[in-house]
Structure formats: structure tokens, C-alpha cells
Chain A
Amino acid sequence: MLKYELVVIGGGPAGLSAAVEAYEQGVRKILILERDKELGGILNQCIHNGFGLHRFKEELTGPEYSLRYIDLVKDTTIETLTDTMVLEISEQKVVRAISAERGYMEIEAKAVVFSMGCRERTRGAIQLQGDRPAGVFTAGTAQRFINMEGYMPGKRVVILGSGDIGLIMARRMTFEGAKVEAVCELMPYSNGLTRNIVQCLDDYDIPLMLSHTIVKVHGKARVEGVTIAKVDENFKPIPESFKRIDCDTVLLSVGLIPENEITQNAGIAVDTRTSGPKVGELRQTEMEGVFACGNVVHVHDLVDFVSEEGALSGKGVAKYLKGELETTPNFSTANSDGIGYVVPQTVNLSNVDDQVTFYMRVRSVYDKHIVRAYQGDTLIAEKKERKFLPAEMVNFKIKKEILANLADGEIRFVVEEV
């Protein structure tokens, strides 16, 4: 049987960063398993720029960003297997995988990092009604066709959902000669970054229709149009507002879901708030020696934070392999008013160097608000922003010395009016 100190499942930005950090911390026998034919993950099809401002202090395209990490891996003894699909991992951390080249493999791992990323929500998941013709794609599938395979999936497009991929694809399809008729967003605010609305929609006069949805898809063989409608405050379509738009393509950008099949098969419970495994400060899961990072834990908005989280898990792996990872947590985190989730879900202070970054998302748009951390009724720390948006992950850093003064127990995060 193949034996490794660390097996990383998924060779996208999270997994690459985890492997590189573990290597830098002294772990030597590392294997990255990637199901696609090359490393880099979904970044390879994200050919637009804007990646890496935090991590590399420059603006890179997706492929350039992933290449930075791939090059780092190449400078090490980290091994990689592409075109390799992990089927499952056992309780003893035996990773079972297959590839055309190597057949069926059983790989014994002392530690495992889950970095499988996420997938897009589909037509079925949002229960989009109407005919079922060809021409309804998730934005990511369209992105792959255009940016990797060199094909156009349509000429006249309506996009449902204003997540960043949807916005980016609006511009991308416009560049390639398609006409984007509209972007419909169910919520009264966009789920994408403001700059993407400006440079992807406004630049090309593509209307962003907030509080709008597609109520029906038309077309027997291929999409011929959609009926869109304005929705009321309960997201119910308002009949008087029904309007038909002719188009041959519908792109869906309606959210991402962490891909945790392997996690769940391993018996690791998935947190219903994040749809990812519960993790500690170094991204340890409830299964000893198994870590998780990136979009498999919770959906990030910037890859820079994915890399950051990957590095945390790499540190965790190194500590664990040295037998220095403390396991009993001091704190658990909770989300209340206005906060959708908090990661990490637990914190063991003795594993922390100087601060803990709590990642969280707010549930709606908050102007003139502040996010506060409490233990019981005691205010521990607060985080100010000009504006809190569900589209933008909140990074709430709390110094170790502050946490060290607290009793063990729960830390609760809330949005409060200023």
C-alpha cells in the first residue's frame, strides 16, 4: 500500500496552499490527488483578473494565481496525481482512489486534507419551472465551454442570479459577441462584488434587475425565451409584472454548495449553516487527523482567503503529525442576530499563534451596523465596516490575548446597530 504523511484531496487553491504550508512546516511525504487533468481547480477557467490582491499584492488572472502555487509545489518534493478520483476514505484514513493510469489505489495517510471545493446550485435545486429545453446552463459550465473548450453556448442570454460568476459571465459572453439581455436577481441587492457590477454590467449597459426572478422557461427543443417577474417582499412573483424576454440561453448563477460527499461518507457530520464540516482554528475536523479548507468548508468570495485557510490547515497538519495539536476546544462559536454562520466552529487556544480570524457572513445588507463578539453578555471585540453585505465575507480577527482572558465556552457573533 502507498503510504504518505499527508494526502490532500483536491488540487485547487485550497489544497495547493495546504500542501505548500505543510511542506514548509516540515512535512515531507505529501501527495495531492486531483480529479481534473491538471492542478489549479476552478481557477483555470476563471480567466478574468482580480485575484491575489491580498496574497500577492498584485492583480492576477485565475490561471496566473493558480500557477503561482503550482510553481511553489514544483519546488518541493510534494507529489501530485492528476486525473485521479477519490472514491472514499476509511476510518483508518485509507484513501481509496482510481485513475486510468494507475487503476485502483489504496493510500494510507497519517493526515488528510479535504479541499474538494464546491459545485453550483442547479435548475432543480432552485426549482425553476417551465419547459426543459437545451440552453439552460450553470454559469460555471458556460464558463468552461467558453474559456477552456473554445465554444459558445448561445447568442442571446438572460442570467438568473447576480453572483460574481454570473456577472463575470455577462461580460465574458458580451466580449465574445453574445447579447446579454438582463441579469435577474431575486434579492433586493446583488450577491456580487460592486466592482463586478460596474465593470461587467454597467460598462455594457446590461440591466441588473433586482427583486426579479425567472418564473418560466419557454422552448421545446432550445430555450426561446423566459418570463421574468418582479417579486414582493416574500419573494412571491407579482403577476402584473410578468414580462417575456426572448433569448436562447439562460445562465444560472444562484449559489454554490460545498462538495462534501467524501466527508459525509467518512462519517463526518456537515454543519447545516455552512454545508461544510465543522472545523477548529487550524481547520481540524471532528475526525482525528482529517483537516478541511477552502470552499469545501464554506463558500469564500475571494481566493486569497481560500489560500489563507489552506495554509491554516497545512499548519494544523504539521502540528498534528508532530503530536502537538491540542484537541479539546476552549471555545465554540455561535451565530445569532444577522449572522448566517461562523467559521471556525471551535477554537483551541493553545494551537493559536497570535490571533484567530473568524470568517462569517451577514444575512442581509447592513448600513451603519457593527459586528460584535460576545461571551454571555460581555462584549469581547467588534468589527467595523462601512457596509456589511451578504456577498462579502466578514473577516473578524480577535487577538489571542483577548481570548486568553475569557472563560471556556461560547463566543457569539451578532450584527448590531451603531
Chain B
Amino acid sequence: MAKEMTCIVCPIGCQLTLEPEGESFAVFGNKCPRGKKYAIEEMIAPKRVITSTVAVDQGMYPVISVKTQAPVPKELIFDVMQDLSSVLMKAPIQVGDVVIKNVQGTGVDVVATRNA
């Protein structure tokens, strides 16, 4: 059975159609190869980049922004948020500095997205 979805890889938001093809899916409607990768992943194991904040000591603000450096499994979002909640960084921090290594065993690091 065909499945419809909206690609979220970039702001264009292509309307994708997926049709089962053996173990995987055939993808139609994508304007770029990343759309195909997204669609298949979304069917098998959806992932998201998480952007949030962590507490920081002696920064310009009490928190700094962070992200997972790559998409992580969607079902782990709230576990990652829980981990982020208890982190306390100390300024100075540079953009790209690792905040949590290998968060939730995903192999993905959480990094700072600004200086503090």
C-alpha cells in the first residue's frame, strides 16, 4: 500500500509517496536524494535532530543552546531532554563544544550551538 508523507529535511517540504519495494520502499516526489533517505528512515526508524538548551554557569545568560549533532531515534527525544535537564556547563563555551558525549547510547554527541 502506498504511503504519503511530507519531507521535513528542508523548508521546501516535498510531498512524498512511498511504495513497498522488497525489504524497503520506492520513494516518489522527492526533489533531492536526502528526501529518499528521509522517507525510508521515517518508515523504518524515524529520527530527529533535537535542539534545546542546557544550564550554564557564568555565561551571558543562564542557559545556552545545544543540538544533537545528528538525528537521533524519535522515541528517545524525552530521554535526551531528561539528560539535558541536569547538565550544568561552565563558561567559557565555544560553539561545537561537546555537552554530552554519545547521548543515550546513540553514538551521537550533543554540542553547543553558541558561545558562552
Which residues of A pack against B, CB within 8 Å? Answer: 37-38, 44, 47-50, 53, 59, 61-64, 67, 146-150, 175-177, 193-195, 197-199, 203, 301-302
Contacts and interface: CB of A to CB of B under 8 A. Distances in A.
A67 B61 contact: no
Contacts of A63: 65, 95, 113-114
Nearest to A392: B11
Interface in B16-69: 48-53, 55, 60-63, 65, 67
A123 to B, nearest CB: 26
B106 interface: no
A68 to B, nearest CB: 10
B18 to A, nearest CB: 15
Contact of B53 (A147, A195, A199): A147
A278 B57 CA distance: 46
B67 A195 contact: no
A194 B13 contact: yes
Interface residues of B, number: 30
B65 A61 contact: yes
A61 B10 contact: no
B110 to A, nearest CB: 12
Contacts of A197: 6
11 contacts: A47-B113, A61-B51, A63-B65, A63-B113, A149-B63, A150-B62, A175-B52, A194-B13, A197-B6, A198-B6, A302-B11
Contacts of A59: 10, 49
Contacts of B7: 195
A49 B67 contact: yes
Contacts of B61: 148-150
A65 to B, nearest CB: 10
Interface in B74-109: 74, 77-78, 81, 95
A67 B93 CA distance: 14
Contacts of A301: 11
A67 B95 contact: yes
B114 A50 contact: no
A64 B114 contact: yes
Contacts of B78: 175
A194 B9 CA distance: 11
A128 to B, nearest CB: 29
Contact of B13 (A175, A193, A203): A193
